[in-house]
Chains A and B, each alone.
Chain A
Amino acid sequence: MVTHNKPLTLVLKYLLALVLIIFAVVPFLWIISTSFNQAKSLLGARLIPEHLTLGNYSELLTSQTLNFSLWMWNSFKISTISVFLIVAITVISSYALSRFRFKGKRAIMLIIMILNVFPGILAMIALYSLMQQIGGYVPWLGLNTHGGLIAIYVSGAMSINVLMVKGYIDTIPIDLDESAMIEGATSWQAFWKIVFPVIRPIVITIAILAFMATYGDFIIANLLLKGNDQITVMVGIFQFTQQRFDTNWGIVTAGTVIAAIPVAVLFFFTQKQILSGIISGAVKE
């Protein structure tokens, strides 16, 4: 805007900013401070703790009954494998949808767009039953398996990512791959050697967003995983708080802080990329 701020407007703006910042930041500060608070229960939780301690963290990580480090490992493993598969499948599919002419392409685009807006999780009763049936034949793909969870993540992430990447490839001049193919390159070589290097920014963006989404997922992981050593950290935190929310608040907060760190750090270092990815996806549509 080109308007100038009058002093009164400026004061009002800062006042509003202050209110919003308190809203945004206090929960964040509070959880960090209580995680270092010696008082273990919610009753003793204060914004400024009286005695600082690392006790909550050490108790969380050394507990015999909680498998916290295993949950973290599960989350990392599942998200990392999912991201690799999501990227590979998305990029290859998007290239074909952008570059090739073939029968049924419009129908496929329509299906992808419908799947993109239709919340597939509504079908969770049937999904649960399907995974149970598949598990009867292919044990590593069934209920309570990481294989099954990854399969659902990968197929669920398809539509939105294909739309983003296909849109991006559409903006790259087709002459680029065509001239390579005139010189004898196959479509695969044209894709891998010419187009893939150009679309690297969007690939990194969808990889980061997919990592954040799978790592933070609660609904599908909670539906599928049951065993204490199978669950992800999000399901673990949820189950833990179901049992002893008030009295073990200190450990709960330590767990939530550790669980939040990986994506927070990832976001911090890739902020520009993520935000511009979201914006370009939104504004183009």
Chain B
Amino acid sequence: METQTKTIFSSQNMGKLLGAAALTFLGAFAVYHLLHDGLLPLAGMISAIVIFLVLILVKKSLTPYRWLAVGLVMAFLFTVFPILYTVFLSFTNMSSGHLVTKPQAVERILAQTYKPDHVPTYSWEAYQNTSGEWLLLVFDQDNKAFDVRPGSDLKPIEVPGDPPAAIDGYKLLDPVQKIQKLQALTEVEFGHGSNLITIQDPMTAAAVVPQYQYDEAQNTMTDKSTGLLYTNKGGTYTSSAGDVLIPGYMVGIGTNNYSRFLGNTGYLAPIGEIIIWNIGFSLFSVLISFAIGMAIAQLFENVPGSRLIRALLIIPYPIPVLVSIMIWRGLLNENMGLVTNLLQHIFGSAPHFFTDISWARFAIILINVYLSYPYFFVLATGALKSVPRDIYEAAEIDGASAWMSFRAITLPMVMRILMPLLIASFSFNFNNFTLIWGFNAGLPAMADTVVPMGHTDLMISFIYRLGFSTASAADYGFSAAITVVLFLLVGLMVFFQVRNAKSLKESR
């Protein structure tokens, strides 16, 4: 019989140790690259994940975590990290022109080349293989031929007469292709290290050298073609004449993003309007949808044909939300929509559901009620079933009317069951981006705002426009700062939600 004690050399332990070693090695490799590129927050997150994985692999008391590892790692990387990273970004100037880190910006600037005077020039022929890689055949002044590819040195090659139709599986471009692909070709650097050749025009290729020299201690760039000095100004290398090098990089700017809107009525007034509408929109959406859902569940329970009525009323539920929004966009279209035409026909005029602020808001709440009442109908049906029947009978004997017993018994009991879901629904609607962006993208626009804002914008669509609108420059740092303020608002709702949750107290 074997003893119970296992030696450290048992095959199982060896496997674990090897696994831990491999993980550590891979993690160190990844973190090294992230640090090299200046991505500090992500490097920190990856380090934490690797340490966690190694620990649960080697420590026996942590074995249960192996069941949770994949889920936890994904949740931390893709859900928790972005929340923390938002806070980080809110203290930086990350925006168009400052999207990369300093090491990345330096690397890209140093990769830029120019053609000094008096360098060797060549005539050229280009070749391309099936996977799209390039090969350049160049002829120097003495008509000696070289084969040069991106990332490898010039290699002399014997070319008697015309350029061959193919070299090593690369096919020669004919004159027409040569012109068609010239643009792409001029962006390719052939050669390796400091021996670089780029294509200058359809006839000539020339040796090129890096254009900028980097002084790490002074954090300056010198343009070798002009001798001009570029110094760092807030993450951009800028010359004394005001010329800048692209790209700039991300730098910490303290609380500038916050003071930009917190002390500024130009921002605060419209943001205040957005927040008030945002709260009103969520509140009315939830209350009306809940009221309708509750009414359906309660009123049509015992009428003849209730099955059919319920089946018809559930129809909006399975239709994808965006599809329903598109349908309503058509129905309410100001010139040609079915609803507007009908109202026009009956009343002689129809509301402007897209250009009038109040009607636009009305339309959005109406659509949201359409989208969400079936959900509350389902929930209310379930909640009603859990109200004991005999209470009603007792109430009826005591002479209570149907309305009274609804007010005194049904509603409070249903509300108690559904309260967490009502709050969850409020918080979901508070950030209902799809509805706003799908219906009218927050329009009509507010007049004279510092950045584009709309009268039906929710905070989240406002933030999205700040970050990703194609019309203006992206400003991630600033929108991150506004997001952080929003975190605090939503965090309040989350707090009430979690504090009331029973399942946490019950968890074994």
Q: Mark B56-97, 1 if CB is under 8 A from A, else 0.
A: 000001111101101110110111111101101100001000
Which chain B residue has the least Cβ–Cβ distance from A252?
B326
- Residues from chain B with a CB closer than 8 A to the CB of A93 are 67-68, 71-72
- Residues from chain A with a CB closer than 8 A to the CB of B338 are 26, 30, 45-47
Q: Is the CB of B94 within 8 A of A123?
A: no
- Which chain A residues numbered 122 to 169 have a C-beta less than 8 Å away from chain B? 122-130, 133-134, 136-137, 151-152, 154-156, 158-159, 162-163, 167
Q: Given known contacts A3-B402, A47-B338, A283-B382, is B77 in contact with A155 (CB within 8 Å)?
A: yes
Q: Given known contacts A93-B67, A117-B493, A129-B476, is B331 in contact with A27 (CB within 8 Å)?
A: yes
- Residues from chain B with a CB closer than 8 A to the CB of A102 are 61-65
Q: Is the CB of B83 within 8 A of A117?
A: no
Q: Is the CB of B303 within 8 A of A216?
A: no
Q: Is the CB of B70 within 8 A of A24?
A: no
Q: Mark A73-102, 1 if CB is under 8 A from B, else 0.
A: 000000000000000011011011110111
Q: Which of B117-125, B191-199, B226-234, B311-319 contacts A (4 or more CB under 8 A)?
A: B311-319
Taken together as a complex, chains A and B put the C-alpha atoms of A151 and B71 apart, in Å, by 11
The residue from A113, A125, A259, A264 contacting B476, defined by CB atoms under 8 A apart: A125
Taken together as a complex, chains A and B put the C-alpha atoms of A137 and B104 apart, in Å, by 13
- Residues from chain B with a CB closer than 8 A to the CB of A263 are 318-320
Taken together as a complex, chains A and B put the C-alpha atoms of A245 and B337 apart, in Å, by 12
The residue from A158, A159, A264 contacting B318, defined by CB atoms under 8 A apart: A264
A51 interface residue (CB < 8 Å to B): no
The residue from B71, B379, B386, B491 contacting A278, defined by CB atoms under 8 A apart: B379
Q: Is the CB of B322 within 8 A of A238?
A: yes
A241 interface residue (CB < 8 Å to B): yes
The residue from B30, B33, B63, B303 contacting A10, defined by CB atoms under 8 A apart: B303
Among B37, B64, B324, the one with the most A-chain Cβ atoms within 10 Å of its Cβ is B64
Interface size class of B (residues with CB under 8 A): 35 or more
- Residues from chain A with a CB closer than 8 A to the CB of B323 are 234, 237, 256, 259-260
Which chain A residue has the least Cβ–Cβ distance from B498?
A113
A244 interface residue (CB < 8 Å to B): no
- Residues from chain B with a CB closer than 8 A to the CB of A16 are 295, 299
B359 interface residue (CB < 8 Å to A): no
Q: Is the CB of A126 within 8 A of B85?
A: yes
Q: Is the CB of B328 within 8 A of A27?
A: yes
B479 interface residue (CB < 8 Å to A): yes
Which chain A residue has the least Cβ–Cβ distance from B320?
A216
Taken together as a complex, chains A and B put the C-alpha atoms of A105 and B423 apart, in Å, by 26
Chain A's nearest CB lies how many Å from the CB of B397?
A: 11
Taken together as a complex, chains A and B put the C-alpha atoms of A141 and B460 apart, in Å, by 25
The residue from B78, B319, B329 contacting A156, defined by CB atoms under 8 A apart: B78
A17 interface residue (CB < 8 Å to B): yes
Q: Is the CB of B312 within 8 A of A25?
A: yes
Q: Which of B108-116, B150-158, B267-275, B482-490 contacts A (4 or more CB under 8 A)?
A: B482-490
Taken together as a complex, chains A and B put the C-alpha atoms of A154 and B72 apart, in Å, by 11
- Residues from chain B with a CB closer than 8 A to the CB of A125 are 86, 89, 463, 467, 476, 479-480, 483
Q: Is the CB of A124 within 8 A of B64?
A: no
Q: Is the CB of A155 within 8 A of B68?
A: no
Chain B's nearest CB lies how many Å from the CB of A193?
A: 16
- Residues from chain A with a CB closer than 8 A to the CB of B337 are 42
- Which chain A residues numbered 17 to 46 have a C-beta less than 8 Å away from chain B? 17, 20-21, 23-28, 30-31, 34, 41-43, 45-46
B: residues with CB less than 8 A from A are 30, 33-34, 37, 39, 42, 61-65, 67-68, 70-72, 74-75, 77-83, 85-86, 88-89, 94, 292, 295-296, 298-303, 309, 312-324, 326-331, 333, 335-338, 370, 374-375, 378-379, 381-383, 385-386, 389, 392-393, 396, 402, 417-418, 420-421, 423-424, 427-428, 430-431, 433-434, 437-438, 460, 463-464, 467-468, 476, 479-480, 483, 486-487, 490-491, 493-494, 497-498, 501-504, 507-508
11 of the cross-chain contacts (CB-CB < 8 Å) are: A30-B330, A43-B335, A100-B64, A113-B501, A119-B428, A119-B430, A125-B86, A128-B468, A130-B81, A170-B508, A282-B379
A96-B65, A113-B501, A259-B323 given. 20 additional CB < 8 A pairs?
A27-B327, A27-B331, A28-B319, A30-B327, A34-B330, A42-B330, A92-B71, A93-B71, A104-B65, A106-B504, A108-B68, A110-B504, A121-B431, A126-B85, A129-B476, A130-B82, A158-B79, A212-B320, A279-B379, A285-B421
